[in-house]
Amino acid sequence: MFPGTDLLEERARCAAAVHVDARVGWRISITLPVINQAHRVLALAAGRRKADIIRRVLAAPPPTPPYPAQRLAPRAGVEWHLDEAAASALPGEVRA
């Protein structure tokens, strides 16, 4: 799931190629409808560079348009696994 790509609106295909940018290049990704058919989704993030976006993704209410991770809606929810650096911008009660 890459912000700003057409893949976020794909409904017909299970997976698709997506060009992210010149630095990242092409990737194959499964689509949101496929991800959301899962019972539970595990979201992983590591590193200080992810801290601010993790804080914004987990904020309520979500911005409009929402971040791609805020569109995850599996039946049993999303379970976040963050290292200390990625969680560093979260309030203490959320980090526990």
Break the chain into its structural domains and give their ranges: 1-35, 39-96
3-state DSSP of 54-88: HHHHCCCCCCCCCCHHHHCCCCCCEEEEECCCCCC
Distance CA 38, CA 34 (A): 7
Band (pLDDT 50/70/90 cuts) for residue 96 is: low
Residue 58 near residue 94, CB atoms below 8 Å: yes
What is the predicted pLDDT for the residue at 69?
93
Model pLDDT for residues 54-80, shown as the tens digit of each residue: 999 998 887 787 889 999 999 999 999
Entry pTM: 0.81
